[in-house]
């Protein structure tokens, strides 16, 4: 009797385990197609800032700017020497070891004073290469006109160029370079993240449905209606009592929540390269499509006509031979698409017609003009 009861309990436990596993698999299936909030949105205040500066690269092996043509380089060099106590304005500067450059960098969020960031250097004048050069002290400014970092150091170039009297060779862009950890942060951005009472989530692809889903996911996690959608781009979250004075912990928990983002039915077309990208929600109403064209191909094959051997008055001449091929597109057929055609059916139907990417662009635009394409077309 005891053995029988033990066997029943084991069987029941196994059945419950199997049922629990089945529920877990069903629950995990939709989550696999969802995205983390961290991957589709940003928190307000947690952002990068662009920095830019103008400086001089010195020590070039004769590949710098020509001072007679690059006036800004000449004036910058004179100004720098004057600040160092050298009067060179009355002299005739002919050096080719200096190049004017633009210096750019990205200031990461919450970068502290004294930390280092990478900078990029690009020539402004007619310098042939920045290889072997050293960037002099260059202040880096933000959009507010304030200096947030100072850059200096040897420039690393990924490309090269060499030329002679009859040939030249180049690889990459020798007028662009990079200085790893080449700038020191001098000013911090005053933003107290941990003490925030409210948090704003900004979607990278604004959408009303996605914004509402994010708010619902946050409320379900917190167990209180602390989040609400303000617009297609913004979700406003009130920091609950359990996260007071610790907004960082709340952001960490929120960004791991999963949401299935929605998107507008859109067809993106790049006419230059012939690339077409269509979203899964693109639909076609009832429409008939036929694609065909008249192609005339003319091929010239000149032939040489020579006189017979040992002839007295014959001459060698060129005889024209022309071949004309006409393709009226008779192999093309008309395809009928029913209402609610999916993206896969549309692609299969157009491929069955033998339509290439270039013709497909024209067909999609014609379908949109007919009002049968239930999506927006975006040209890039």
For the segment 211-266, what is each residue's pLDDT rounded down to a tens digit?
A: 999 999 999 999 999 999 999 999 999 999 889 888 899 999 999 999 999 988 88
Q: What CA dihedral angle connects 18, 21, 27 and 29, to 10 degrees?
A: -100
* Higher-confidence position of 59 and 356: 59
Residue 348 has pLDDT above 80, yes or no: no
For residue 359, tell me if it sits in a domain.
yes
At 380, list the tokens: 């890039």
Portion of the chain with pLDDT greater than 70, in percent: 73
Higher pLDDT, 319 or 147: 147
Whole-number Å distance between alpha carbons of 98 and 65:
6
Domain holding 252, by residue range, is 192-259
Residues 180 and 59 grouped into a single domain: yes
Among 8-17, 148-157, 275-284, 325-334, which is the least confidently predicted range? Answer: 8-17
Among the residue ranges 119-133, 275-289, 341-355, the one predicted with the least confidence is: 341-355
Residue 170's SS3 state is strand
Question: pLDDT digits over 87-99, tens only?
Answer: 877 777 888 899 9
Which of the given ranges, 284-298, 317-331, 338-352, 358-372, has the highest pLDDT on average?
358-372
pTM for the full predicted model: 0.65
Residue that is written with structure tokens 């490309």 in the block: 159
Kindly tell me the burial class for residue 181, based on how many C-beta atoms sit within 10 Å of its own C-beta (0-12, 13-18, 19 or more). Answer: exposed
Structure letter (DSSP) for residue 243: G
* 141 and 217 co-located in one domain: no
Residues 53 and 123 in one domain: yes
Of the three residues 224, 259, 294, the one that is the final residue of a domain is 259
CA distance 147 to 300: 68
- Beta strands across the sheet bearing 41-43: 41-43, 198-203, 234-238, 227-229
Integer Cα distance of 22 and 16 in angstroms: 10
Does residue 306 contact residue 280 with C-beta atoms inside 8 Å?
A: no
- pLDDT averaged over every residue in the chain: 80
Same domain? For 295 and 369 the reply is yes
Looking at the structure, do residues 74 and 199 belong to the same domain, yes or no? no
Angle between helices 208-222 and 247-254 (to 10 degrees): 120
Question: Per-residue pLDDT averaged across 334-358, rounded?
Answer: 66
* 282 against 145, higher pLDDT: 145
8-17, 139-148, 199-208 — which is least confidently predicted? 8-17
The Cα-based distances of 39 to 43, 51, 91, 229, 261 in angstroms read: 11, 25, 58, 18, 10
**96 belongs to a structural domain:** yes
């Amino acid at each position: 009797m005891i053995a029988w009861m033990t066997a029943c309990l084991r069987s029941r436990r196994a059945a419950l385990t199997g049922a629990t596993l089945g529920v877990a698999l069903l629950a995990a299936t939709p989550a696999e197609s969802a995205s983390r909030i961290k991957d589709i949105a940003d928190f307000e205040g947690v952002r990068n800032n662009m920095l830019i500066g103008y400086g001089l690269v010195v020590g070039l092996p004769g590949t710098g700017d020509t001072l007679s043509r690059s006036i800004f380089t000449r004036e910058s060099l004179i100004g720098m020497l004057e600040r160092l106590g050298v009067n060179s304005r009355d002299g005739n500067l002919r050096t080719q070891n200096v190049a004017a450059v633009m210096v750019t960098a990205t200031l990461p969020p919450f970068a502290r004073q004294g930390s280092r960031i990478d900078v990029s250097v690009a020539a402004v004048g007619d310098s042939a290469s920045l290889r072997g050069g050293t960037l002099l002290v260059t202040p880096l400014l933000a959009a507010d006109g304030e200096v947030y970092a100072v850059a200096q150091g040897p420039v690393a170039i990924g490309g090269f160029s060499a030329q002679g009297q009859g040939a030249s060779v180049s690889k990459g862009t020798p007028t662009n370079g990079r200085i790893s950890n080449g700038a020191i942060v001098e000013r911090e951005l005053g933003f107290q993240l941990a003490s925030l009472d409210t948090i704003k989530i900004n979607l990278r692809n604004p959408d009303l449905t996605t914004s509402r889903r994010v708010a619902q996911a946050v409320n379900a996690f917190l167990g209180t209606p602390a989040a609400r959608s303000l617009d297609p781009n913004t979700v406003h979250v009130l920091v609950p009592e359990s996260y007071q004075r610790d907004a960082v912990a709340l952001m960490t928990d929120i960004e791991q929540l999963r949401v299935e983002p929605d998107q507008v039915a859109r067809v993106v077309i790049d006419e230059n390269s012939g690339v077409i990208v269509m979203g899964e929600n693109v639909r076609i109403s009832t429409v008939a499509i036929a694609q065909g064209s008249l192609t005339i191909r003319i091929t010239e094959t000149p032939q040489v006509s020579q006189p017979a051997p040992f002839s007295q008055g014959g001459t060698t001449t060129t005889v024209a031979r022309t071949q004309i091929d006409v393709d009226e597109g008779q192999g093309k057929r008309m395809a009928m698409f029913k209402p609610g055609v999916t993206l896969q059916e549309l692609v299969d139907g157009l491929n069955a017609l033998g339509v290439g990417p270039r013709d497909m662009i024209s067909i999609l635009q014609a379908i949109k003009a007919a009002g049968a394409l239930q999506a927006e077309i975006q040209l890039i």
